[in-house]
Amino acid sequence: MNLPDPFAPIAPSIDRALQDVFGFEAFRAGQRRGIEAVVQNNNTLIVMPTGSGKSLCYMLPACVMPGLTLAVSPLIALMKDQADALESFNIPATYINSSLSWDEQRQRLAGMRAGAYKIVLVAPERFKSQVFLDALAGLPIGLFAIDEAHCISQWGHDFRPDYLTLGEVRKQLGSPTTLALTATATPEVQRDIAAQLGFESPRVVVSGFERPNLFFEVYPARSRRAKYERIEALLDQTPEGSKVIYCATRKQVEEVGRNLRESGYYPALYHAGLSDQERDEVQDAFMAGDAPLLIATNAFGMGVDKSDVRAIIHFNIPGSVEAYYQEAGRAGRDGESAHCLLLFNRADLRIHEFFTENSFPDRKQIERLWSLLQKHGEGTHALDADMLADHLSRAGDDRVHPWAVGSALRLLERGGHVAFGQRGPTPWLQVMDRARTRELRVDWHALDARRRVDEDHQEDMVRYATGHTCRQLYLVRYFSDTAEDIPRCGRCDRCCGPPSYARDAGQVRAPIVVSEAAQTVLRKVLSGIARTRGRWGTHVVAAMLRGSRAKKVVGAGLDQLSTHGILSALRQDDLVRLIDVCAQLGLTTQNTHGCVSLTEEGTALMIASEPLPAPVAEVLARHLTSVSASPRRSGAPSSHQAAARQNEPPLPAHLAAHLADSELGETYLRTFALAREGHDYQSIAEQRGLTPSSVLRHFLKLAEHGYPLPLQDHADGRLLPELREVASDWSSHDKLADLKERLSTPCDYDTLKLNLAIVLQERFEHLQPLDAS
């Protein structure tokens, strides 16, 4: 068969294509193996992290293989960008999707038939169109590429029913060489993708999941205030590059944005509630570096490739390891050091439980909805999910969320029972038959399975957050069952202890001082948890261990337990911390209500008589110290933080001598030393590689702790007298925005902080904690 020129190979080999077509000198890790497998006509599954060059793995084979490459992607919004990128490499390509007019679609279909394109990008829904299938008939399909292939698997974190048809589509196309690409597929999902596509002996290439330039940290935050303090500490120590804070809901995006603005930061916000134009403007500003701090839901990030992202912060725990790795992996794509901080609070799991319950409603809810629709009868009605949810809520004891109704309607639509949509401002819903509830064409087994998959993903994410193994090792093992174990990575909090930015900000808690051996204290905690039989949460168990006679403790009879008061020398916060440590070590677990119980490992350790295993003893040593031991600072700085400070001179001797006993970290004392030398806050920020706002916060902390700063030149004759009155009991835990609102004297935040530092200093005029010379 004589192929038209566009269907003939563009380059004679993969190396010539790499250099002559794409202009690259070398392949990235894993790319050559995957590309060679495809070019040799092997059905191939490639699993590579976001940002590692997956797209080249179908674009380059398209250049050296004869025939048309058909590339499937669910990201309609990005198809134009991908087609434009291909055109920039002089590869004839186009996309066909619902964003185009019918006339434009017909022109492109005609061009495809005429051989005008080497690569055509389509969404999976396109194969429902008979017109499109007719246009494909007889064309030489050299490569069938499927991006985001995890969407095929019902065990994946982002399953999409339209992807299920692709195995049958592949057969209709004559089973061409097929490439499945994904950034997030566990071994189980990899096997399911291969099975769904009918691969008999596929080549599987999994690579690149260790990210040595990223520092992974999980911070167990007991409160929202603790989250904000940790975020601010990291932002202050990361002045360069871009930062993204991910939140689970748009409401939280707004809340976090408001709180950070009140603390003197200037974040941009991105979520699905914004108009398309607003989202585009925010994304353009972020990409241009004009909005270096972005707070977003997971609506942000698909197709965003920014090289200088220095920190990714998750305000809430994500719903799956796949989602977390994809989002965290947007940091450090330039190969330089970056930080990935997850703020873990078990209460945040309720958000994902809500998502799961409403994405996969139970059978009873779907049958109730169908009964309501039957009352309206066959035909078309002006109804939508909100209206139906309101009807169901008023008719029953439980409130039904519109999201759950929308999910149920989609299941009924898939079964051919209803159709629905929107005509202008008016909703419509068509009831298409009068099936009895037991005759509903809903795959109840698949629905239950999807709900369990979502729940399993959440449990996997909790294991990451609470586990005591190396973070990098957990991720490598999660995505590859054939990966070799990596040594202690030296790039996570499990291997290094608390990172340096937290230490410098004074956020590393001192060890709990005990009078007994650490293993004795641990076993007492485990015994107390065992006696409560998994019926109570962390705070109640801690109260019982310290001997509290609070109403809840006495009312539950916990004061009668043999473990009541066995750790009475410790504070409530200390015991809560130790119970959290038990969870991190895998010795305890919590149910959905937060009730604590022992795992098998916890029970075995409680009753054992031999010394603690080395990994347990090592973790415990970070949190406990005997009265005879001196506290030690733990944790190594991340490399980008160490690099930022490597040129700083040694701390002056008179300050270094105070460091061990100071409540403040070294970074504060360095700021103090420069201020005493006569540098203003902007000069200090420039010298230290910090933001001016960070240095001003240092001033407030230093002043609050009685360190004499030379701030007289900044005294504002109108503002200072009012501050002395209004801020008489202000502390660094209070919000500046609230204080600013109470002032009648107008001022900017910088002036406010400088004069507030003077007020804080005046409280300590009688103290001289350091020699000011």
Q: What's the confidence (pLDDT) of residue 445?
A: 92
Provide the sign of the torsion angle of the four alpha carbons 283, 285, 286, 291, taken in this order: negative
- Count other Cβ atoms within 10 Å, centred on residue 549: 11
- Main-chain dihedrals φ then ψ at residue 737, nearest 5 degrees: -60, -40
Q: Does residue 619 contact residue 585 with C-beta atoms inside 8 Å? A: yes
Ranges 254-258, 334-338, 449-453, most confident: 254-258
Per-residue pLDDT reduced to its tens digit, 56-106: 999 999 999 999 999 998 887 788 888 988 999 999 999 998 888 999 999
Check whether domain 5-206 has CATH 3.40.50.300, yes or no: yes
Please indicate whether residue 773 or residue 197 has the higher confidence score (pLDDT): 197
Per-residue pLDDT reduced to its tens digit, 391-431: 999 987 788 999 999 999 999 999 999 999 999 889 999 99
Percent of the chain with pLDDT over 90: 52
Rounded CA separation 156/180 (Å): 14
The stretch 603-615 carries a mean pLDDT of 90
Rounded CA separation 636/492 (Å): 9
Q: What's the confidence (pLDDT) of residue 742?
A: 86
Per-residue pLDDT reduced to its tens digit, 93-124: 999 988 889 999 999 999 999 999 999 999 99
Axis-axis angle for helices 692-704, 666-676 (nearest 10): 90
The stretch 707-735 carries a mean pLDDT of 85
Checking DSSP bridges between strand 309-314 and strand 242-246, what pairing results, if any? parallel
- Main-chain dihedrals φ then ψ at residue 500, nearest 5 degrees: -65, -35
Answer yes or no: is pLDDT of 640 > 50.
Answer: no
Q: Residue written as tokens 């804080």?
A: 760
Ranges 34-38, 483-487, 673-677, most confident: 34-38
Q: Which residues contact 540 (CB under 8 A, 6 or more apart)?
A: 532, 552, 553, 556, 558
Identical topology for domains 362-448 and 512-626 = yes
What percent of the residues of the chain are helix, what percent strand, and what percent coil, each to the nearest 5?
50, 10, 40
Q: Which residues contact 47 (CB under 8 A, 6 or more apart)?
A: 182, 183, 184, 185, 190, 204, 205, 206, 207, 479, 480
Rounded CA separation 360/368 (Å): 15
Which structure tokens are listed for 543? 């109260």
Answer yes or no: is pLDDT of 378 > 60.
Answer: yes
| 529, HSE (Cβ side, Cα atoms, 13 Å) | 32
- DSSP 8-state code for residue 465: H
State the Cα angle at 113 between 111 and 117, rounded to 5°: 55
Rounded CA separation 517/524 (Å): 11
The stretch 167-181 carries a mean pLDDT of 94
Q: What's the confidence (pLDDT) of residue 111?
A: 93
Answer yes or no: is pLDDT of 252 > 80.
Answer: yes
Rounded CA separation 773/769 (Å): 12
Least confident residue range of 174-188, 335-349, 497-511: 497-511
512-626 fold: Arc Repressor Mutant, subunit A (1.10.10)
Answer yes or no: is pLDDT of 626 > 80.
Answer: no
The stretch 323-345 carries a mean pLDDT of 93
Rounded CA separation 93/116 (Å): 8
Q: What's the confidence (pLDDT) of residue 304?
A: 74
The stretch 546-572 carries a mean pLDDT of 92
Domain ranges in the chain are 5-206, 214-351+458-496, 362-448, 512-626, 647-762
Q: What's the confidence (pLDDT) of residue 162?
A: 85
Q: Residue written as tokens 């005591």?
A: 468
Q: What's the confidence (pLDDT) of residue 772?
A: 41
Q: Which residues contact 140 (CB under 8 A, 6 or more apart)?
A: 1, 3, 7, 66, 67, 68
Q: Does residue 119 contact residue 44 with C-beta atoms inside 8 Å? A: no
Per-residue pLDDT reduced to its tens digit, 451-460: 999 999 999 9
Q: Residue written as tokens 């005429």?
A: 114
Provide the mean pLDDT of the chain.
87
Q: What's the confidence (pLDDT) of residue 644?
A: 42
State the Cα angle at 373 between 369 and 379, rounded to 5°: 150
Per-residue pLDDT reduced to its tens digit, 208-249: 788 889 999 999 888 888 899 999 999 988 888 999 999 999
Nearest to 543 by CA among 527, 566, 526: 566
Answer yes or no: is pLDDT of 661 > 80.
Answer: no
Q: What's the confidence (pLDDT) of residue 506?
A: 66
Query: DSSP string of 490-543?
Result: SSBHHHH-S-HHHHHTT-SPPPEEESS-HHHHHHHHHHHHHHTTT-S-HHHHHH
The stretch 174-203 carries a mean pLDDT of 92
Rounded CA separation 465/663 (Å): 28
- DSSP 8-state code for residue 21: I
Please indicate whether residue 318 or residue 738 has the higher confidence score (pLDDT): 318
In the chain, how long is the greatest CA-to-CA distance?
96
Q: What's the confidence (pLDDT) of residue 147?
A: 93
Q: What's the confidence (pLDDT) of residue 395?
A: 85
Answer yes or no: is pLDDT of 603 > 90.
Answer: yes
Task: Please give the CATH superfamily to which domain 214-351+458-496 belongs.
Answer: P-loop containing nucleotide triphosphate hydrolases (3.40.50.300)
Percent of the chain with pLDDT over 70: 91
Q: What's the confidence (pLDDT) of residue 184?
A: 85
Answer yes or no: is pLDDT of 639 > 50.
Answer: no
Q: What's the confidence (pLDDT) of residue 765?
A: 60
Answer yes or no: is pLDDT of 4 > 70.
Answer: no
Going through 123-241 in order, the beta strands assigned E by DSSP cover 141-146, 178-182, 203-206, 214-220
Q: What's the confidence (pLDDT) of residue 78?
A: 80
Residues 304, 310, 314, 318: what is their CA dihedral angle, to the nearest 10 degrees?
A: 50
Q: 484 pLDDT band (50/70/90 cuts)?
A: low
Q: 270 pLDDT band (50/70/90 cuts)?
A: very high
The stretch 746-770 carries a mean pLDDT of 77
Rounded CA separation 702/710 (Å): 12
Q: Which residues contact 205 (CB under 8 A, 6 or more apart)?
A: 30, 33, 34, 37, 44, 45, 46, 47, 48
Per-residue pLDDT reduced to its tens digit, 143-170: 999 999 999 988 877 888 889 899 999 9
Q: 633 pLDDT band (50/70/90 cuts)?
A: very low
Which CATH number is correct for 362-448, 3.60.10.10, 2.40.50.180, 1.20.200.10, 1.10.10.10? 1.10.10.10
- Burial code (b: 16+ CB inside 10 Å, e: under 16) for 485-500 equals eeeebebbbbbbbbbb
Q: What's the confidence (pLDDT) of residue 392?
A: 94
